[in-house]
Structure 1
Amino acid sequence: MENTLKAAYLKWDGIHTAHLRQLYLENREDPSFIPATLALLENEHAVEVSSSWVLKHHIDQGKMLSSDQVDQLINKLPELRFWESRLHLLQMIPQISLTDAQAERLEPAVRKHLSSDRAFVKASAFAAYFEIVKRFPELKNEFRLLCEDSLEKVSASVKVKIRRILKQLQGAENR
């Protein structure tokens, strides 16, 4: 299936997601589809963005990944070549179940993206890092200060995300 799937991912024009949506619809019931897509994400740079988009779409549809599949994503995040695929993985983090060990391994990779030049990547990194902070309260004060400091330096779209996070952090402290 991997070779067929790779060929299908390579047909994507890099812009319009209708092709990827259709590919997902046609294959979502096949139990080898998500594992093959993960394998392609891990091994084929040419389909990194399209395969990460499909994985994010899978999660957006309310589907789950196994703990081993989450491990694969965590291991891949530091190696991703394209900002779009980094964005997709960061956007998945608030929607997937992480173990403490996975969150701990994920922390340095997500932290690195808090200073991304790409506004959407940065905003998604803040949301993803917040998920890590929920598991490790000892990071909360440093993260709150980082959020407050960042408000002066980021675009409006990132400010919105950071303000929401600060509100949630404050709400958690008041409980």
Structure 2
Amino acid sequence: MENKNEKKLKEAFLQWDGTHTAYLKNLYQENREDPSFIPITLSLFETEAAVEVSSSWVLKHHVDQGGTLSPDQVAQLLNKLDGLRFWESRLHLLQVIPKVALTAAQAEHLEPTVRSLLSSERAFVKAAAFAAYFEIVELFPELKNEFRLLCEDSLDKVSASVRVKIRRILKHLQSEKNG
């Protein structure tokens, strides 16, 4: 059963027009000091498909603003990646991955899903997937050479925005190899 805060927050997420993030930024600003805000947002993200995109955006924004998530909250968030319905929420979660401390178990669980998103039709998702996969590869060095080859092979097949991300990753992989 929803409590009053959860119902109010769900209604606020449902009022978002799907385009203007100023509304979501304002919602975040108004509620960020409330200790129940992030847990409720995470709960709504997990259970309410109608607010999947808006709640994932707010959770990403929270992390972008230096907000923290507990290890359990990170696990809760990341466990949802392979079941997301919307490309925008996949993008938001992929963008969170480089900003949170992944455990080896989480990385192992995420690996097949993130790997599949490396070939997404959406350039932003693809770019974010490369950055997220790099974080996974950091925990599993045995994947580095294969990932480097995949990055090199992808360079001439992707849009300019994805190419920039891949070149940065290749630079990191090269410096690690030399360092």
TM range (shorter): over 0.9
Alpha-carbon distance in structure 2 between the residues aligned to 1:58 and 1:17: 13
Equivalent in 6, 12, 17 of residue 13 of structure 1? 17
- Provide the aligned C-alpha RMSD in A: 0.7
- Whether the aligned pair in 2 keeps the contact of 1:12 and 1:19 (CA below 8 Å) is yes
Cα shift readout 1:134-170 (whole Å, capped 9, x = no counterpart): 1110000110011011112111110110011001100
Equivalent in 27, 36, 40 of residue 36 of structure 1? 40
Which residue pairs with 2:6 in the alignment?
2
1:77 aligns with 2:105: no
Cα shift readout 1:42-88 (whole Å, capped 9, x = no counterpart): 11111010000000000000111111111111210001111111000
How many Å apart are 1:105 and its aligned residue?
1.1
How many Å apart are 1:28 and its aligned residue?
0.5
Alpha-carbon distance in structure 2 between the residues aligned to 1:31 and 1:141: 43
How many Å apart are 1:174 and its aligned residue?
0.3
- Whether the aligned pair in 2 keeps the contact of 1:119 and 1:157 (CA below 8 Å) is yes
Counterpart of 1:139, as a letter, is: L
Alpha-carbon distance in structure 1 between the residues aligned to 2:131 and 2:118: 10
Give the fraction of aligned pairs with identical amino acids, expressed as a percent. 75
Alpha-carbon distance in structure 2 between the residues aligned to 1:87 and 1:72: 17
Structure 2: which 5+ runs fail to align? Answer: none
> Which of structure 1's runs of 4+ aligned residues deviate more than 6 A?
none
- Whether the aligned pair in 2 keeps the contact of 1:114 and 1:126 (CA below 8 Å) is yes
Which residue pairs with 2:114 in the alignment?
110
Counterpart of 2:150, as a letter, is: L
Specify the SS of the correspondent of 1:151: helix
Q: Normalising by structure 1, what TM-score?
A: 0.98
Which residue pairs with 2:56 in the alignment?
52
- Whether the aligned pair in 2 keeps the contact of 1:74 and 1:105 (CA below 8 Å) is no
Q: Count how many residue pairs are aligned between Structure 1 and Structure 2.
A: 175
Alpha-carbon distance in structure 1 between the residues aligned to 2:75 and 2:113: 13
Structure 1: which 5+ runs fail to align? Answer: none
Which residue pairs with 1:90 in the alignment?
94
Equivalent in 159, 164, 170 of residue 166 of structure 1? 170
Alpha-carbon distance in structure 1 between the residues aligned to 2:117 and 2:168: 18
How many Å apart are 1:132 and its aligned residue?
0.7
How many Å apart are 1:131 and its aligned residue?
0.5
Alpha-carbon distance in structure 2 between the residues aligned to 1:30 and 1:152: 47
Specify the SS of the correspondent of 2:20: coil
